[in-house]
Amino acid sequence: MMLDKNRMTSAEEATRVRAIRLASHSFDEAFAEESTLEMTLSEALVAGLLKQGVRTYFAIFGHGSTDLGEVLRVYHEEGAVSVINCRNEVEMAHAATAHAWVTGETPAVVTSIGPGGLQAMAGSLAASSNGVGVYHIYGDETTRGEGYNMQQVPKPQQGIFGQMGALMGQSYTLHTPEALRECMRRGTSCVHHPYKAGPFFILLPINTQPQETAVNLRTLPGRLDVPPVIPADGAALDEAVQRIREGSRMVIKAGGGCRKHAEALRRFACAVGAPVVLSPGSTGVMLDAHVQNMHVGGSKGSISGNFAMEGAELVVFIGSRGVCQADCSGIGYPNAKAVININGDIDDLSHYANTTGLPGDIGAVLRRLLEALGDKTGREARKAWLRDCEAKKSEWTAFKAERTGGAPITDAVWKRPVLTQPAAIHQVARFAKSKNAVKFFDAGDVQANGFQLVEDDAPGETITETGASYMGFATSALLGLAGTKEAPYGVAFTGDGSFMMNPQVLIDAVEHGVRGLIALFDNRRMAAITDLQIAQYGREFKTNDSIAVDYVAMAGSVSGVKAIWGGETSDELAAALEAGFAHDGLSLLHIPVYSGRDPLGGMGAYGSWNVGNWVDDVQAKYLQATI
Structure confidence at residue 103 (pLDDT) = 96
Residues 576 and 231: their CA atoms lie apart, in Å, by: 54
Q: Is 599 helix (H, G, I), strand (E, B) or coil?
A: helix
Residues 499 and 604: their CA atoms lie apart, in Å, by: 23
Residues 97 and 144: their CA atoms lie apart, in Å, by: 34
Structure confidence at residue 233 (pLDDT) = 79
At 439, give phi and psi (nearest 5°).
-105, 125
Mark residue 360 as left, alpha or beta (left: phi above 0; alpha: psi -120 to 50; beta: remaining). left
Structure confidence at residue 8 (pLDDT) = 54
Structure confidence at residue 145 (pLDDT) = 85
CA 355 from centre of chain: 28
Q: What is the largest CA-CA distance in the chain?
A: 84
Structure confidence at residue 472 (pLDDT) = 95
Q: Is 31 helix (H, G, I), strand (E, B) or coil?
A: coil
Structure confidence at residue 1 (pLDDT) = 41
At 53, give phi and psi (nearest 5°).
90, 15
Q: Would you state the torsion angle of the CA atoms of residues 589, 579, 411, 523, taken in this order, to the nearest 10 degrees?
A: -10
Mark residue 604 as left, alpha or beta (left: phi above 0; alpha: psi -120 to 50; beta: remaining). left
Residues 171 and 183: their CA atoms lie apart, in Å, by: 9
Residues 612 and 245: their CA atoms lie apart, in Å, by: 41
Amino acid found at 23 = A
pLDDT averages per 10-residue partition of the chain, 627 residues: 54 94 94 91 97 98 95 98 97 98 97 95 96 97 88 89 95 96 98 96 97 94 94 91 96 96 98 97 97 96 97 97 91 97 94 96 96 96 97 98 96 96 98 98 93 97 92 97 92 96 96 97 91 91 91 98 97 98 98 95 92 94 93
Instruction: Please give the DSSP secondary-structure letter assigned to residue 370.
Output: H
pTM of the predicted protein model: 0.95
CB 440 within 8 A of CB 492: yes
Rg (CA), the chain: 26
Domains of the chain in sequence order: 11-144+159-219 (3.40.50.970), 234-394 (3.40.50.1220), 413-595 (3.40.50.970)
**What are the E-state strand segments in 297-426?**
314-318, 338-343, 355-359, 409-411, 416-418
Q: In terms of Cα–Cα distance, which of 255, 174, 245 is closest to 215? A: 174
Strand partners, 253: 277, 317
